[in-house]
Amino acid sequence: MNKESENQIKDELAERQRLEDVIQVIKKKKIALKEKASGLRESIIDLRKDFWDDVTVNLDEPDDIIETQASLKQQAEFLAERERSHGNIDHERKTLDSLQDSPYFGRIDFKENQTKEEEKIYIGKASLMDEKDENFLVYDWRAPISSMYYDYAPGPAQYESTEDTINGEITLKRQYIIRQGQMKGMFDTGLTIGDTLLQHALGNNANTKMQSIVATIQKEQNKIIRNERSNLLIVQGVAGSGKTSAALQRVAYLMYRFREELNANDLLLLSPNPLFSSYIINVLPELGETNIGQSTFLQFLRKRIEKNIEIESPFEQIEYTLTERHKDKNDIRVINMDYKSSLDFKQMIDSYISYLNHTGILFKNIKFRNEIILSKEEITRYFYALDSSISIPNKLELVSKWLLKEIRHIQQKEVSEDWVLEEMQLLDKEDYQKAFTYSQDMYGDEDDPLQEEMFLRKEVIQRAFAPIKKQIKRLKFVHVLATYRNLFEKWEPNLKPKNWETIATFTVKHLNKRYLTWEDATPYVYFKGKILGHDADRSIRHLFIDEAQDYSAFQFAFIRHIFPYTRMTLLGDVNQGIYAHTTSENPLIPDAVESNHERITLTKSYRSTKEIVEFSKHFAPGHSIIEPFEREGKKPTLLQTENNLVQTLLLEIEKLRRYGHETIALICKTMEETNQIYELLRKEIDLYPINEETFSFEKGILVLPVYLAKGIEFDAVIIPDASSNQYNRESERALFYTACTRAMHDLTMVSPGEPCLFIKEADNDTFKVG
């Protein structure tokens, strides 16, 4: 045996020994923690049981009451503090469990220039100290020193400590695969983080839940994850380049880095569809962090729109534009979408709002018992008599105060009406008792029926007017929808855009049915916020927007308006813009955004095999560079069929299953096609149709429209109709590209008839005809 192999064996033995030692430490820590937890649990149970014993309750004098309150508060705080500690212990226990399974995944040996000392730095999902809590056995991957693991190959390296830049040299970089506490593999790596480990991670079957990439984060991705300085970080990354993965790792990083200031409620992720939301749900808990708030943009808008107004979903909108019947570019709907997505329309709303400051806001009558008690004319007069320099929301606040005062006068008049007496009969026994006690307290022992009656009358009046007052406080007397409608119906804009009359007629038709098309939903909420005020959200500190290419310029401007002080990370791919309104105004396109931003571009695609990337990049809509990660597979297959579609699909599914694929997706262009394919195959095979209400999926055979497959991946993808009949418009290029790039290992396109133009654009040797 030569010296080198001898050293290698020694080294491996030492690593195995260290792993065992570390696991021993973890086990001991778990035992100690268990004891601490049981002590704490008992003390919490005792505290809850004896809560009142330790509180001095005395309500005799005002001073005693204050003392009682203080004593109660102290006791409650004491209990809460114990419960918090118990929660922390629980968190610590989960961390130790996870470390026991796999305590670390990487190591660098770093020699500092100044001290000349070399330290072995082991990196894992969380930090671990030795038994005396003196030295780090494992560093958290987010610690400053760990950044070098992701950023440098062996050789000169540096990192930013809290005070200074530390320079030195990495003399060794090593990776481990440790599962169930056992060393399964160990590699010394060079330039990038272990192709071996990455190959291993990417070669596995697709998961129905996304996994964290902590062990194999790439240098470019690390820049996104650890970026602290920019207020607006824009990531343009090709399909499968790890944008979503990086975004979630970034959340975990920020929560660690700013743990004193940030908690999960301060972060929000806007995601493309409910299926995606559940797809990523495990990543943060796997990294030891709590999940942050998540919402689709539709859910976000829905919360801000009146319940009795129906909103079209973005998917219904896409379905409309993709359906063959509406392919005409002059389709009024498409014209409407284009205009309502633009900043020009936002400007038009702004000038309409300036106009409304002088005239034009519509109000509703305030009715009581079917009678108008305050008319819309009176409200209008009061509103427009207020100084025009006061903003509309502030004027509405003044109107609201005035209305409440008027209501009080009306209440005083109504109290002696006959209907009040009738309603009094319906009051509870307790109310009569209260009236009696009140009269006793106020007017001595003698029973005073008149006072009691007055008390009860007032009670009836208070209850009857309570809903009206609530509505007034919520500014419900403003007829927002009708005022918005007048923008199109009555108002004469100075500068009318092209096709204004057609757009206006189309919009009014829908608003009359209390229906907002998707392109009108954001403008409406923007308008409503500007009129009623209070629309800025200052509670969110970081906003993440995934699939950012699918937002229109108007939607972005609106988001900025709602979150004026929030830091933002936008992640997207211009190649995957599937909405008709993705225009040159989208912020992912340079120059379209605020000047103060930072842009990171990811060009390497990790999801799909080299063959799938080499094929699909030929017809990617943008002109961006797309590089494959070197993972070999089979070339995509094109199957041309004439009239045996069902047979072809069944045979192909069977073949893909034989290859070991567990998640096979039949990706269609529309929901209409999805339903057709489902109907064709459902009697032959078990398959799961997915629609916009599907919240999660299991392994198996799935059938879904491409817009619901956004952000998700499958072992194999079959495009059941890749013919020129189905994909024939330039605007469908991104859709076809998105469908192809959902495949990790295998891609099959079935074409009844002539294959689509996009396939023809690919080099012949990048796919095979089967």
Ligand X SMILES: Nc1ncnc2c1ncn2[C@@H]1O[C@H](COP(=O)(O)OP(=O)(O)OP(=O)(O)O)[C@@H](O)[C@H]1O
Cβ atoms of 232 and 570 closer than 8 Å = yes
Residue 770 to residue 767: CA distance in whole angstroms: 9
Residue 332 to residue 662: CA distance in whole angstroms: 44
Instruction: For residue 243, state whether it binds ligand X (rule: CB under 6 A).
Output: yes
CB of 629 to ligand X, least distance (A): 8
Find the binding residues for ligand X in span 697-756 (CB under 6 A): 711, 713, 741
- Quick one: which segment of 37-45, 117-125, 208-216, 588-596 binds ligand X (CB under 6 A)? 208-216
- Quick one: which segment of 44-52, 198-206, 483-491, 525-533 binds ligand X (CB under 6 A)? 198-206
CB of 583 to ligand X, least distance (A): 19
Among 75, 241, 296, 342, binds ligand X (CB under 6 A): 241
- Quick one: which segment of 52-60, 214-222, 369-377, 427-435 binds ligand X (CB under 6 A)? 214-222
For ligand X, the closer of residues 242 and 621 by Cβ is 242
Residue 592 assigned to a binding site: no
Per-residue binding string, ligand X, 489-508, x by CB under 6 A, is: --------------------
For ligand X, the closer of residues 580 and 612 by Cβ is 612
Residue 240 assigned to a binding site: yes
For ligand X, the closer of residues 407 and 716 by Cβ is 716
Q: SS3 sequence, 690-729? A: CCCCCCCCCCEEEEEEHHHCCCCCEEEEEECCCECCCCCC
Residue 238 assigned to a binding site: yes
For ligand X, the closer of residues 225 and 403 by Cβ is 225
- Quick one: which segment of 212-220, 358-366, 635-643, 650-658 binds ligand X (CB under 6 A)? 212-220
Residue 243 assigned to a binding site: yes
For ligand X, the closer of residues 315 and 339 by Cβ is 315
For ligand X, the closer of residues 573 and 692 by Cβ is 573
CB of 283 to ligand X, least distance (A): 9
CB of 552 to ligand X, least distance (A): 19
Residue 262 amino acid letter: L
Per-residue binding string, ligand X, 245-274, x by CB under 6 A, is: x-----------------------------
CB of 219 to ligand X, least distance (A): 10
Instruction: For residue 168, state whether it binds ligand X (rule: CB under 6 A).
Output: no
For ligand X, the closer of residues 211 and 512 by Cβ is 211
Find the binding residues for ligand X in span 134-153 (CB under 6 A): none
Q: What is the DSSP string of 405-427?
A: HHHHHHHHHHTTSHHHHHHHTTS
187's enclosing H/E stretch is strand 182-188
- Per 3-state DSSP, what percentage of the chain is helix, strand, and coil (rounded to 5)? 50, 20, 35
Q: SS3 sequence, 525-553? A: HHHHHHHHCCCCCCCCCEEEECCHHHCCH
Q: Please report, for residues 227, 309, 397, 656, the alpha-carbon distance to residue 317 in angstroms, rounded to integers and kept in the order given.
A: 36, 17, 37, 33
- Quick one: which segment of 217-225, 340-348, 389-397, 463-471 binds ligand X (CB under 6 A)? 217-225
For ligand X, the closer of residues 319 and 713 by Cβ is 713
CB of 558 to ligand X, least distance (A): 23
Find the binding residues for ligand X in span 389-408 (CB under 6 A): none
* Token pair of 168 as six digits: 């030195």
Residue 743 to residue 736: CA distance in whole angstroms: 12
Q: SS3 sequence, 472-489? A: HHCCCCECHHHHHHHHHH
Cβ atoms of 507 and 491 closer than 8 Å = no
CB of 241 to ligand X, least distance (A): 4
For ligand X, the closer of residues 234 and 562 by Cβ is 234
For ligand X, the closer of residues 713 and 715 by Cβ is 713
Residue 633 to residue 631: CA distance in whole angstroms: 7
Residue nearest to ligand X (CB): 242
CB of 628 to ligand X, least distance (A): 12
- Quick one: which segment of 105-113, 183-191, 196-204, 611-619 binds ligand X (CB under 6 A)? 196-204
- Quick one: which segment of 84-92, 114-122, 235-243, 448-456 binds ligand X (CB under 6 A)? 235-243
Q: Which residue has the tokens 């300036």?
A: 354
- Quick one: which segment of 243-251, 342-350, 724-732, 755-763 binds ligand X (CB under 6 A)? 243-251
CA atoms within 13 A on the CB side of 745: 19
For ligand X, the closer of residues 486 and 582 by Cβ is 582
Instruction: For residue 198, state whether it binds ligand X (rule: CB under 6 A).
Output: yes
Q: What is the DSSP string of 593-618?
A: S-SS-EEEEE-EE-SS-HHHHHHHGG
CB of 216 to ligand X, least distance (A): 4
What are the counts of helices (DSSP H) followed by strands (DSSP E) for the chain?
26, 26
Residue 239 assigned to a binding site: yes
Among 123, 166, 170, 213, binds ligand X (CB under 6 A): 213
Q: Is 310 helix (H, G, I), strand (E, B) or coil?
A: strand
Residue 711 assigned to a binding site: no
For ligand X, the closer of residues 573 and 732 by Cβ is 573
Residue 334 amino acid letter: V
- Name residues whose C-beta falls within 8 Å of residue 138's C-beta, 6 or more positions apart in sequence: 22, 99, 103, 104, 122, 123, 124, 126, 127, 128
- Contacts with ligand X by CB under 6 A: the residue count is 23
CB of 252 to ligand X, least distance (A): 14
Among 95, 146, 189, 218, binds ligand X (CB under 6 A): 218
Q: Is 42 exposed, middle or buried (0-12, 13-18, 19+ CB in 10 A)?
A: exposed
Q: Using CA of residue 60, residue 63, residue 65, residue 67, what is the dihedral sign?
A: negative
For ligand X, the closer of residues 353 and 706 by Cβ is 706
Tell me which DSSP letter residue 640 carries: E
Cβ atoms of 127 and 138 closer than 8 Å = yes
CB of 148 to ligand X, least distance (A): 17
CB of 104 to ligand X, least distance (A): 17
Find the binding residues for ligand X in span 563-622 (CB under 6 A): 573, 606-607
CB atoms within 10 A of CB 740: 28
Residue 242 to residue 602: CA distance in whole angstroms: 8
Nearest C-alpha neighbor of 150 from the set 173, 168, 166, 127:
173
Cβ atoms of 534 and 475 closer than 8 Å = no
269's enclosing H/E stretch is strand 267-271
For ligand X, the closer of residues 457 and 745 by Cβ is 745
For ligand X, the closer of residues 237 and 274 by Cβ is 237
Residue 49 to residue 71: CA distance in whole angstroms: 16
- Name residues whose C-beta falls within 8 Å of residue 458's C-beta, 6 or more positions apart in sequence: 415
Among 96, 99, 178, 217, binds ligand X (CB under 6 A): 217
Q: Is 735 helix (H, G, I), strand (E, B) or coil?
A: helix
Per-residue binding string, ligand X, 639-678, x by CB under 6 A, is: ----------------------------------------
Residue 313 to residue 561: CA distance in whole angstroms: 22
Find the binding residues for ligand X in span 444-473 (CB under 6 A): none
Q: Using CA of residue 149, residue 152, residue 157, residue 163, what is the dihedral sign?
A: negative
Residue 242 assigned to a binding site: yes
Under the rule (CB under 6 A), what is the footprint of ligand X? 198, 201-202, 211, 213, 216-218, 221, 237, 239-245, 573, 606-607, 711, 713, 741
Binding site for ATP, by residue number, is 237-244
